[in-house]
Amino acid sequence: MTSFVKPKIRRHNEPLNELGLARADYEGNMSTLCAGCGHDSVTAAMVRAFYELSIPPHRALKISGIGCSSKTTSYFMNDSHGANTVHGRMPSFATGALSANNDLPTIGISGDGDSLSIGLGQMAHAMRRNVNMLYMLENNGVYGLTKGQFSASADLGSLPKKGDPNEFSPIDPVAFALSVGATFIARSFSGDRQQLVSLIKAGLKHKGFAIIDVISPCVSFNDHKGSTKSYAHTYEFYSKAVHADYIAPSEEIVAAYDEGEVMPVELHDGGYIQLRKVDKDYDPTDRGAAFNRVMASDNANEILTGLLYIDKSQPDLHQTQNMEARPLNEIPYTELNPGADKLQALQAEFR
Amino acid sequence: MKPTDTSNPDYFHKVVDCQWACPAHTPVPHYIRLIAQGDYSEAYLVNRASNVFPGVLGRVCDRPCEPACRRTRVEEKPVAICRLKRVAADHRDDIRDRLPKKPDQTNGKKIALIGAGPASFTVANDLAPLGYECTIFEKLDKPGGLMRSNIPAFRLPEDVLMDELGYILDMGVELKLGHPIESMGALLKEGYDAVFVGTGAPKGKDLGLPGREESRDNIHIGINWLEEVAFEHTDKIGENVLIIGVGNTAMDCCRTSLRLGAKDVKVMARKPRAFFKASEWELEDAEEENVEILVNHSPKAFVHENGKLTGMVFELMEYDLDETGRITDQRVVGEKTIPCDDVILAIGQENAFPWIEADAGIEFDKWNVPLVDKVTHESTRKGVFFGGDSAFGPLNIIWAVEHGHQAAISIHNHCRGLPLTDRLPDQINLASAKMGMAEWRYSNAFDASSRRKMEHVELVERFKKIDTEVELGFSPEQIATEVQRCLNCDVHTVFDAPLCEECDACVDVCPVECLTITPNAESEQELRDALTASDPTVDQDLFVSAALPLTGRVMIKDENICLHCGLCAERCPTSAWDMKEGVIKIHHAADQKELTEA
């Protein structure tokens, strides 16, 4: 908790983005999460990513379900569109909103409880339909709002603050996403700001369903010795496979790396995601290889991070369904509502 | 980089920009908090311990603290530190029973103090309660030195000055008025254990231009003229007056002229406004009284008729400036005669010691400034000390006070046979300001209010009497707002690296982004490059923590831009950041007794 609102202070040499806005212009209400919560760090990374991409802070869509993570939509870009929706139902809400307006950068924020239990079906179908959104899964292994019960992402044998170790097998959001057809799959950690910001920027620019599974420790209920989602545990077993940098169409690719390490992936807007591979033999465009590598890391207790899989060949839901490209609110009323005669004619076709 | 050594008292002292800039190191944020709590008497005493004359300085201090104020990093105007000092003085209760007392018996050591100005009075203030028999010799009939003779009563009322001098006289200090010291040699023979010279810089500079001699009746040396006015030997001046020079003495001269009947007063400056020596606020106050300040006029000659001054000739100057504002070239582009009845020269002052004999063992440099040790204030003769303007040339009151404190320590050591360099070092005591969850014993919320404007007496009213004080003091509403503008820079962000979890909460919540967690580097510049935001224009240290326990990275903080709002400490889940109030112990003569006891 905090006693007062973070003041907006203009400094002498404050850096500004292409729109002339400062990073503070992308912030929102003061967080009411516990001090030290990983989610606040993820929020700060999103602020930074939107700021660096110079996305107008009122021209975005942010939606969430229920839970600690889902509260965070209040804590950034207050002027943009969005809603706190029903528990686990954020993906359908996003699908509907995007059908009406495919122009807004869309970010869905959810947690391991919201996504992997009550909302697992919703998330799976948004993935297989390749809805054009960035899905942030803030993963801390517990239900923080209800005082720390294990969620479906808790690892086998992980110790709770009080009571017995977890006995159920965890759902790995990355492995799950690989199996149902998401086209941009990444994992990161709230404590790795640099990597997380790069991934968020790349994910926002990816046309299709992008998911970032962010290990985001719960300081109140899952940050103790024996927990596998604590800050200490994550820092200890952290490993990076592939860096992903978003390169805007106006920028040049600078390849100052050894052969085989760098791999540019061109995006629909003319920009690139430049992949820098820590592990030269790893190919993040090969779904089978990615799956094997994720499984191997899981078995080795290694927290594998970076952009683990990308497929830009799949059309997104809008294209597949041949939906109107223009946002509905920009279509003239007469075109949107052609009148009773046209309706009669249409209905006649079905008689 | 090695971790920053925050145990060095100077580290946190430097963060309190105002206190660091104050020659006497007045704990400004501490007394402003006391004012906020309505404890004016305590605020006064905290001030008095450092600067001895809060009522005087709250009106006429040179304010080295205000340009340094941290507030200027986020907005244009600093906290009205000086005027808040006056608030403490104006609203204090009778505090006489809380001041150091005259001791029951003296220690038998006799100290002669020459000149009854701020430096001598500070020495007496520090030494009399310790048992020293202090005698102040003053050539004029009233005490105060330049505080009385050069600062007009409409800026500093006599009773304010007398109250504060009275406190010191009540400690058993003897004051001999109308008692000029005409021979140092004779004084030294009188058996004093130590002699302190606080005679100021009493000689106003003259301007030897053609016509100077012929029109001498209407040409006045600024500081002498102000003294004549203060002692009521002069009570009128011509209708048209020119003031030569544009320092603070010039401002006092022009405003005093208006009160003695001048109708048109012009201040003549040789250079453009950026080169003026006067404080910005003194210029504003003079211009408010319709004084005209003319730039680029260089005096050339006095014009006179039948032995009476009629005007002055000026060369009109033109200057070339480089991009840093320095003058690279100058030329005369014309000439102009400005008629006037009187001219007041306010072009500087210098030391003069006609009463110190060449064989007194006191050496001077070629500018007639005595050779005085910067730390001990001792001259080349053992047991003779200098302070105030007489020591190193003209400075200001607050410097004179600090010289007095330092000289008092030296005299105390001298009289006990201790080396003068045995001086207690500064110390800092840090105590957590935490009172509970998000609760601190200081008002940490940032208040965006702008600086309150001091109300002045109306123009027509202020010219009726020469001693009508122009500034009215702050109203209760103004006080309540102005105190909240202080950022409490003495409540420090103190970091305990082993407790850090590297959750980034502090980094993200900081409203000025002054924190960064980054891998350590070889040089300070590399670390500064890693800062999320930094302010290269202000000189403050970079804080570098010890290695953080989880990743071995370091926490770095740019002390330039921190606003001491405490949000980092509020958001820290492990209390690795804490807000701690730092009390810097600056030792005076009374504290030095520990040296003998130890």
Whether A317 is covered by a domain: the verdict is yes
| Terminal Cα-to-Cα distance of chain A (whole angstroms) | 62
Chain A residues close to B73, C-beta within 8 Å: 11-12
- ∠ at Cα B146 (B142, B149), nearest 5°? 55
Q: What is the pLDDT of residue A5?
A: 79
- The reported pLDDT for the residue numbered B540 is 85
| Sign, CA torsion B433/B437/B443/B444 | positive
| pLDDT level of residue B431 (50, 70, 90 thresholds) | very high
* Mean pLDDT score, B86-108: 94
pLDDT at A269: 81
Please report, for the domain that includes residue B245, its CATH number. 3.50.50.60
pLDDT at B48 over 60: yes
B103 vs B131: CA distance, rounded Å: 6
Q: Of B365, B383, B416, at which residue does a domain stop?
A: B416
Instruction: Answer whether residue A7 is part of any domain.
Output: no
B276 and B394 housed in the same domain:
no
Q: Which of B476, B451, B75, B479 is nearest to B284 (CA)?
A: B451
Is residue A1 over pLDDT 80? no
Tokens representing A6 are 């973070």
Looking at the structure, tell me whether residues B107 and B191 fall in a common domain. Answer: yes
**Higher pLDDT, residue A251 or B197:** B197
> Residue A9 and residue B503: Cβ atoms within 8 Å?
no
In 3D space, the residue among B27, B64, B65 whose CA is nearest the CA of residue B47 turns out to be B27
Residue A166 lies in a domain: yes
**Beta-strand relationship, B577-585 and B427-432:** antiparallel
Residue B303 has pLDDT above 90, yes or no: yes
Q: Give pLDDT, residue B595.
A: 56
Q: Are B407 and B66 in contact (CB under 8 A)?
A: no
Domain co-membership, B190 together with B214: no
Q: Which residues of B touch A215 (CB under 8 A)?
A: none
With a cut of 70, say whether residue B342 has pLDDT above it: yes
Mean pLDDT of the region A305-334: 93
- Count of CB atoms situated within 10 Å of the CB of A256: 7
- At position A241, the amino acid (one-letter code) is A
Query: What is the percent of chain A where pLDDT is above 90?
Result: 77
Specify the pLDDT at position B212.
93
Q: Has residue B598 got a pLDDT over 50?
A: no
Residues 65-94 of A with CB under 8 A from B: none
Q: Are residues B261 and B338 in the same domain?
A: yes
- Residues B238, B302 within the same domain: yes
Cβ-based interface (< 8 Å): residues of B facing A: 73-74, 437-440, 444-446, 448, 501-505, 507-509, 511-513, 533-537, 550-551, 561, 563, 565, 567, 570-574
Is the CB of A193 inside 8 Å of chain B's CB atoms?
A: yes
Task: Tell me what pLDDT residue B530 has.
Answer: 87
CA distance B81 to B487: 12
**Cα separation, B308 vs B303, whole angstroms:** 9
CA–CA gap between residue A330 and residue B129 (Å, rounded) = 85
Which of B522, B565, B561 lies closest to B544, judged by CA?
Answer: B522
Q: Residue B548 domain-assigned?
A: no
Distance, CA of A33 to CA of A228 (rounded, Å): 21
Residue A273 pLDDT = 83
Whether residue B140 lies inside any domain: the answer is yes
pLDDT band of B473, cuts 50, 70, 90: very high
User: How far is B156 from B141, CA to CA, in rounded Å?
Assistant: 18
Residue range(s) defining the domain that contains residue A80: 23-350
CB B505 to CB A37 under 8 A?
yes
Q: Encoding tokens for residue B281?
A: 């606020």
CATH number at residue A245: 3.40.50.970
The nearest CA of chain A is from the CA of B504 a distance in Å of 6
**Does A9 reside within a domain?**
no
What is the per-residue pLDDT for A13?
75
B279 within some domain: yes
Distance CA A136, CA A75 (A): 15
Q: Residue B153 domain-assigned?
A: yes
Per the listing, tokens 């001895």 go with B52
* B511–A6 CB contact, under 8 Å: yes
Query: What phi, psi does B222 have (nearest 5°)?
Result: -45, -55
The answer on pLDDT for A74 being more than 70 is: yes
Inform me whether the pLDDT recorded for B93 exceeds 90: yes
Q: Which of B445, B509, B550 sits opposite A231 (nearest CB)?
A: B550
Classify residue A2: in a domain, yes or no: no
Q: Residue A265 has what pLDDT?
A: 82
Give CA separation, B434 vs A131, A167, B489, B569, B574, in Å. 49, 42, 16, 9, 14
Residue A265 lies in a domain: yes
**Does B597 have pLDDT greater than 50?**
no
Q: Would you state the structure tokens that stand for residue A17, as one six-digit string?
A: 């983005």
For residue A225, is it within any domain?
A: yes
pLDDT band of residue A3 (cuts 50, 70, 90) is low
Cβ-Cβ contacts under 8 Å, B565 against chain A = 7
**Which residue range forms the structural domain that includes residue B387?**
99-202+351-416
Same domain, B334 and B288: yes
List all residues 6 or more positions away from B565 whose beta carbon is below 8 Å from its beta carbon: A7, B444, B445, B446, B487, B511
In a domain, B533, yes or no: no
Domain-terminating residue out of B370, B395, B416: B416
Strands (E), B101-149: 110-114, 133-137
Counting the structural domains of chain B, the total is 2
Q: Which residues of A touch B507 (CB under 8 A)?
A: 44
Which residue of B500, B503, B506, B532 to mutate against A (max A Cβ within 10 Å)? B503
Which of B453, B596, B593 minimizes the C-alpha distance to B131?
B593
From chain B, the residues in CB contact with A36 under 8 A are: 501, 503, 505, 571-574
Residue B17 lies in a domain: no
pLDDT on residue B285: 95
Inter-chain touch B508–A219, beta carbons under 8 Å: no
Q: For A20-24, A259-263, B210-214, which range has the lowest pLDDT when averaged over its residues?
A: A259-263
Residue where the block lists tokens 């409540």: B491
Residue A308 CA to residue A284 CA, distance in Å, equals 5
Residue-wise pLDDT tens digits, A88-142: 999 999 999 999 999 999 999 999 999 999 999 999 999 999 999 999 999 999 9
Pick A44's closest partner by Cβ from B437, B446, B504. Answer: B504
**Which phi and psi angles does A202 have, rounded to 5°?**
-65, -40
The mean pLDDT of chain A is: 91
Q: Quote the CA–CA distance of B196 and B179 in Å, as a whole number.
A: 15
Regarding whether B336 and B216 lie in a shared domain, the answer is yes
Compute the C-alpha angle B169/B19/B481, nearest 5°.
95
Give the pair of three-digit tokens for residue B52: 């001895």
Chain A: nearest CA to B492, how far in angstroms? 18
- A vs B, Cβ pairs < 8 A, gives 100
For B272-286, write each residue's pLDDT tens digit.
Answer: 999 999 999 999 999
Identify whether B117 is part of a domain: yes
Q: Which two tokens stand for residue A132?
A: 């054009």
Residues 254-273 of A with CB under 8 A from B: none
Question: How large is the ipTM?
Answer: 0.86
Residue A279 lies in a domain: yes
DSSP per residue, A76-128: B-TTSEEEE-STT-HHHHHHHHHHH-SSS-EEEEEEHHIIIIITHHHHHHHHH
Instruction: Looking at the structure, tell me whether residues B396 and B408 fall in a common domain.
Output: yes
Residue A255 has pLDDT above 70, yes or no: no
| Averaged pLDDT score across all residues of chain B | 94
Q: How far is A43 from A70, CA to CA, in rounded Å?
A: 11
B307: confidence class by pLDDT, cuts 50, 70, 90: confident
3-class DSSP assignment, residue A244: strand
Pick the residue from chain B with its C-alpha nearest to A24.
B511
Domain count, chain A: 1
Is residue B539 in some structural domain? no
Calculate what percentage of chain B has a pLDDT beyond 70: 98
